[in-house]
Each structure stands twice: as structure tokens, then as C-alpha cells.
């Protein structure tokens, strides 16, 4: 970016490299009111890969009536090179979703659990115990088929119905997912209420349970403008995988006050300023988000996209 790039000032103790787990094509688009064609989605993913992102969550094998925006999941997967160097994880909600993913050659899947009882019922129409019972066969089936499985835990830092979420609940759900066979946990601040101190405490609680930061990723929403501060807290705690969404796209169709994800551009700017490698070309990424914003008919909420535009 030349003179427009961030000034680099490193901080001792931070990782040399961070893996960005790009969720714009799935989590970012799933809540958009404007219908996005499969051709545009495929080009969006291609542009993200060209910008240097190597893990791009492509879609979800969810029932079309639940998330209409992702009804074209199978057609989209047929347009991607699932055997190449880019990882294209797919969210699968149940065993039927796993069957569909396997039939289309998916090599990596993700499952979704809640840290709270109320959100489990809102999101999956099941109790927390019932939802975990549903997830179990999905994880074991995927692992048996040779797939890697990521576990998402939502509502880790606060729930709009239950309020504060006890850290122990999050650790218990996360531990169960890892014991089932997930290789990594993504801890989600679904409504964006988390703060940096909470992140530090969460990592300490997992560490006390014998789960190190190398098994954890963070998924922050920027509802209250805390996503970057929370990310820095996570980096200081040893986390090296951060979820982000190009252009700050996203929300949650089952939690109406959940606004956009941490923008990938904002994350890349901060990491570049800290001298942390990501492999991402920021200029290409900004161009991609501006292009997608044009298809959605609204400007990108990313502050870096706005500044560089």
C-alpha cells in the first residue's frame, strides 16, 4: 500500500504469523437481505483466494428454509477446487448436512454449538444437551471419513436472553467438542459485547482445563467496537487463528442484534502494524470488498475499506 500502509512497531511476545480464517462467504453473506448469485459468490471466493487468504469458509449445508441465502451450497461447491491448496471448510448442522458435504468432496467441516441453553433452542430448536447429542455423530462421522472438524461455540461472552455467560459453561461445551474429535475451537462473541479482559480470563480458564491457546481461535463481532481490542488481547494470550469477514460482512439470523464480524481489512491493518505476517495483500482485499459492496448495494462497514476508498 506504499505510504498508505501502517507504520510497523512490533510488540514482544506476539506471534510472528497469524492465520486468518475468512468467513465472509458463509457467515458474512448468510444474513444479507440482497440475494447474491452463485456466480458472484464463486467470484468473491476466488478474489479472496487471490488476495492471499488460504482458509475460506465457503458455505453451509443448512436447510434452505433456515438460511435462504445459502440454498445454492452444492452448486457453489461444484465451482471450487476442493483438491487445491486453499482450504474451503463447510459448516454442517447435522448428519444429513455431513452426507451432502461428503458427496461433494469437502475435506473440512465445522460444527456449531451454543454456550447457552436459550440460544441452543433459538438456533437449533433443541436443548443444549440435545444439540450436543446431535453434533456428536456429525463429528465422529466426519473424523471417520478422514475429514478435519472445527468446532464453533457461540454466545461465549454474553447472550441477549441470558445476559452474562459463566466462563465454566463455555469451557465445558468447548471441552466436549474437543473430546468428540474437533481439532480446533472457535470461540464466538456472537453479539459483540465482549471486552479485552474477558478474553484474557477466557483463555486462562481454558488453560486451567488443560486446553492451550494453540487449540483455540477467536470469532469477534464489532457491535460495540471492541473486536480489534479483543483480538489483541487474544494474540497476547497466544492465539494465532482469528476469524474475520471481508468488508465486515455478517451478523446472525438467529440473534437480531448481532452486527457485522470483525472486518478482515481492519484485522490485516492492525497485524501489519505489529509486524505480524498474514500473507494477505491488503490492496487486493480492499478492492474485493468494494466490489462486493457494489453487489450488495451498500458501503462496506470496514473502517480500513472506507479509509482507503
Question: Which of 25, 124, 252, 263 is the catalytic position?
Answer: 252
Decide: 226 and 261 in contact? Cβ < 8 Å: no
Burial category of 81 from C-beta neighbours within 10 Å (exposed 0-12, middle 13-18, buried 19 and up): exposed
156 has catalytic annotation: no
Active site positions, annotated: 252
Amino acid at each position: 500500500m506504499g505510504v498508505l500502509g501502517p507504520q510497523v512497531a512490533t510488540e514482544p511476545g506476539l506471534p510472528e504469523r497469524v492465520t486468518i480464517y475468512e468467513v465472509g462467504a458463509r457467515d458474512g453473506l448468510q444474513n444479507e437481505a440482497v440475494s447474491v448469485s452463485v456466480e458472484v459468490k464463486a467470484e468473491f471466493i476466488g478474489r479472496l483466494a487471490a488476495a492471499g487468504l488460504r482458509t475460506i469458509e465457503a458455505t453451509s449445508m443448512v436447510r434452505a428454509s433456515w438460511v435462504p441465502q445459502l440454498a445454492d451450497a452444492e452448486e457453489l461447491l461444484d465451482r471450487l477446487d476442493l483438491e487445491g491448496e486453499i482450504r474451503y471448510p463447510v459448516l454442517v448442522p447435522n448428519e444429513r448436512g455431513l452426507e451432502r458435504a461428503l458427496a461433494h468432496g469437502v475435506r473440512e467441516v465445522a460444527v456449531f454449538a451454543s454456550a447457552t441453553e436459550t440460544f441452543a433452542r433459538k438456533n437449533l430448536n433443541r436443548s443444549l444437551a440435545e444439540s450436543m447429542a446431535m453434533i456428536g455423530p456429525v463429528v465422529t462421522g466426519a473424523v471417520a471419513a478422514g475429514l478435519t472438524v472445527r468446532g464453533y461455540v457461540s454466545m461465549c461472552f454474553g447472550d441477549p436472553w441470558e445476559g452474562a455467560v459463566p466462563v465454566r459453561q463455555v469451557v465445558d461445551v468447548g471441552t466436549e467438542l474437543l473430546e468428540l474429535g474437533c481439532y480446533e475451537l472457535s470461540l464466538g462473541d456472537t453479539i459483540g459485547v465482549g471486552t479485552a479482559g474477558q478474553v484474557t480470563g477466557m483463555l486462562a480458564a481454558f488453560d486451567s482445563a488443560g486446553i492451550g491457546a494453540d487449540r483455540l481461535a477467536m470469532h469477534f463481532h464489532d457491535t460495540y467496537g471492541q473486536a480489534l481490542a479483543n483480538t489483541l488481547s487474544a494474540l497476547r494470550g497466544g492465539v494465532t487463528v482469528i476469524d474475520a469477514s471481508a468488508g465486515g460482512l455478517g451478523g446472525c439470523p438467529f440473534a437480531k442484534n448481532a452486527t457485522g464480524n470483525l472486518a478482515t481489512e481492519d484485522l490485516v491493518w492492525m497485524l501489519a502494524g505489529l509486524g505480524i505476517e498474514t500473507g494477505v495483500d491488503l490492496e487486493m482485499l480492499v478492492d474485493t470488498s468494494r466490489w462486493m459492496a457494489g453487489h450488495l448495494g451498500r458501503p462496506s462497514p470496514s473502517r480500513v475499506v472506507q479509509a482507503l476508498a
